Every structure is written in structure tokens, then in C-alpha cells.
Structure 1
Amino acid sequence: MMENLIGETHRPGRIEVVCGSMFSGKTEELIRRMKRAKFARQRVEIFKPSIDKRYSDEDVVSHDKNIIPCTPVDSSATILLLSSDMEVVGIDEAQFLDEGLVDVCNQLANKGVRVIVAGLDMDFKGVPFGPMPALCAIADEVTKVHAICVRCGALAYASHRLVKNDKQVMLGEKTEYEPLCRECYQKAVGKEKCEEDAGTAENNA
């Protein structure tokens, strides 16, 4: 046990990525790791994209309402500027930040900082989202967390959008998104495509 504690205290710089669909517990896991680092009296700072105002402007809040104060940022470069004396840096909703985040995380880790990143690995179309794929590639550790499919109870694979909006970035909660397994996601997308094709055919008739 003592060896584990010493290891946590003297860990070299590293990048840890927590990814998955919506409602999978990504933010919950990020908050848990950050609170443990604070309990160990490490110098910590957590950041999130300033566009994410769903629960709070200046807190990271999980769907279960666990809260930790954070600093909202408009760009990844700001994270580098504000992390000069930090030992642990947390970044929530990383998919909304720019591609420069990959280099920022690498620079921090190379300086001995433990970087913990949480974000959606895919958008509502099942496409890899923002800088997340590259972050997974360079990470020392990747944790894939899963929600439960609301239609069949299997492990969720993707975040299915419930409203008609083709923009990649659309903030929302349970009224806008649902976690689905691969099979249920394919059925839902297929049904929507059929309905769309039928609507198009009707308009052209």
C-alpha cells in the first residue's frame, strides 16, 4: 500500500484520457481523480471549454451533480499559460477544444505534469470527435467508460441525438441525447434515414 501511495505522489508526467458516450460517467471519473489529487495536496487546476454552460459557468458538474471548481477557456493555448506551476491538470469536454490541445497536453506531460482529459470520443453521427482521437493515440492510459443503452440495457456505444439538428456541436442533456448500443444505434439511424427518404419522396411527388 505504501508503495502505491509513493508512486501516486511521485508519478512522472503522463496523459490519461477518459472517453465514452454521453451519460457514461466521464466527468464523474475526472472529478474523482482530481479530488484524489487535491486530497494528496497536489497543485491542481481543471479547465473546460467556455461554451459549456449547461450546469454552471465556472464549475465542472457531472450528470450526478458532483461539482469541482474550474477555469473556463476559449482555446487550448490558454491552458498552457495557466498551468505553469500545476502538478495535475484536468480538462473536461475536451472534444469542444481545438486541435492544438494535443500539443498542449504533450508539452505539459513532458514537463512532468499529470494531465487528465475527459471527453466524447464520437459525435452523434458516430464520427471521431475533435482532438479526442489524437489524444487517445498519445495517451499513456485510455479509459473507455460506458453508459447503458436505454433501449435494450446493453453497454452503450454512441450518443444518439433525439432532435433534428445537423450541427456537430450542440449542447444537450437527456431530452436531446440518449445512449445506445451499436445495434440499437444502427436501427435508430436506419429508421431516421427511411423517414427522411420518405419525406423527400413525398415532397417531390
Structure 2
Amino acid sequence: MFIEPSLRGERRGWIEVICGSMFSGKTEELIRRLKRVKIANLKVEIFKPAVDIRYDEINIVSHDTNAILSTPIDNSQKILLLAQDVDVIGIDEAQFFDNELPNVCDELAYRGIRVIVAGLDMDYTGKPFGQMPFILAKADYVTKLHAICVVCGHIANYSYRKIPNDDQVMLGATDVYEPRCRICYNK
């Protein structure tokens, strides 16, 4: 689907964003794209925020338990240090990274690297989440995935928090969140 463009032989990079609500398949899609990169024998580095230890401390793991090895980091600037001699960078749970992540993605793309970023576009209150709006604005390609509303069965793009807690960041899975459509979310 994504073919590296070239201009007079110059290597060009770009930013792809995979976004959506919880349980929409963002991490699954990221893993799928990164596995295809590996099949093509391209050099890849994969990163996730160190705070995300829900399923594994090191691997990126989808809700369907598909996994791929990653490097947990606590600062997006480390990506620039660790992204030496690579063709593709994968970044999961981008909403948990610091304010420099959009600039890091830009710098990587300018270096000729394909950057694939996955993350929640909205938090549990329905507001833009973390640095995702800024990354979306800089993206060359955007894929918005949808879950299925657990209440009515329609397309869901909201992450409904089932337990009372006002913290914006609260790690959890089906025990804490469920996907809902716009109408069921606002009921």
C-alpha cells in the first residue's frame, strides 16, 4: 500500500498514523505492518512508552495477544539516538509520549525513514489525547480504525471508562474500558 517515493534517487521518509479508540485494532495493524517490513528485509526499530506494561514490559502486544519485540523508552528523544541505520521506525501508544514526539517523527522522516505511529486519538472524555493531534497534523498517511460498540453493535470510536477515575492516563483493558459509538458514549 505504501511505496517509498523517490526524487532523483533521493531516499524519502514519511509518517503514517494508525489511530482510533481502544479495541479498534491499532496495535494489531501496527504489528501487521512491521512484520511485513521484516519480511521485506528492511531494518526496523520498534518503540513503546516504558509506562505501558499492561501485557508485557518489553514486547508490544495487541489485545488479541499478537506480539512483536520493542524497546521501551521514557523519552521520545531516545528514538533519535537509537534509530541509527534503519529503514522503518514503529511507535506504539504514542499518546503516552512527551511533547517532543511530533518533532522526533518529523526528524526521522527528514532522514528518509518511514515512521509508523499508533495511538489513541481521543482520551476517555472524548478530547484529543496527548501528542496525537500534532502527529496527525504532520502525517502523510492516516488510518482511522473503529471498534464495535458493545452496547448497540454499531461502529465505535470512543473509549468509555467503566470505573470512576478522573486521571487522564489510566492503563487498563476490558476491565476498565469498552468501545462505544457516539450515541451510546454520550448516554
Task: Give the TM-score normalised by structure 2.
Answer: 0.95
CA contact (8 A) 1:9 1:40 kept: no
Does the residue aligned with 1:27 lie in a helix, a strand or coil?
helix
Counterpart code for 1:153: G
Quick one: distance in 2 between partners of 1:8 and 1:31? Answer: 19
Question: 5 Å matches for 1:119-130?
Answer: 119-130=119-130
- What do residues 75-118 of structure 1 show as CA deviations (whole Å, max 9, x unaligned)? 10011110021110000000000110000000000110000000
Take 1:158 and 1:50, find their aligned partners in 2: how far apart are those partners?
25
Question: Larger Rg: 1 or 2?
Answer: 1
Instruction: Give the ranges of 4+ consecutive aligned residues of structure 1 lying more than 3 Å apart after TM superposition.
Output: 7-11
The answer to which structure has the higher strand fraction is 2
Aligned to 1:140: 140
Uncovered stretches (5+) of structure 2, i.e. residues with no partner: none
Residue number in structure 2 paired with 1:199: none
* Aligned counterparts, 1:18-37, within 5 A: 18-37=18-37
Distance 2:25 2:169 in 1: 20
Alpha-carbon deviation of 1:121? 0.3
CA distance 1:9–1:137, change in 2 (3 Å) = closer
Q: Kindly state the Cα deviation for residue 161 of structure 1 after the two structures are TM-superposed.
A: 0.3
Q: How many residues were matched structurally? A: 183
Contact 2:98–2:131 at 8 Å: present in 1 too?
A: yes
Please say if 1:179 is aligned against 2:179.
Answer: yes
In the TM superposition, residue 180 of structure 1 has moved relative to its aligned partner by: 0.3
Aligned to 1:62: 62
Q: Secondary structure at the match of 1:58?
A: coil
**Deviations along 1:122-144, whole A, 9 cap, x unmatched?**
00000100000010000000000
Residue identity over aligned pairs, in percent, reads 61
Does the 8 Å contact 1:158/1:185 carry over to 2? yes
Are 2:83 and 1:83 aligned? Answer: yes
Structure 1 counterpart of 2:153, which letter? G
Two-structure CA RMSD over aligned residues (Å): 1.5
The whole-number CA distance in structure 1 between the counterparts of 2:5 and 2:34 is: 13
CA deviation after TM superposition for structure 1 residue 12, in Å: 2.2
Q: Given the two structures, how large is their TM-score scaled by the length of structure 1?
A: 0.86
> Relative to 1, partners in 2 of residues 1:54 and 1:84: Cα closer, same or farther, differing over 3 Å?
same
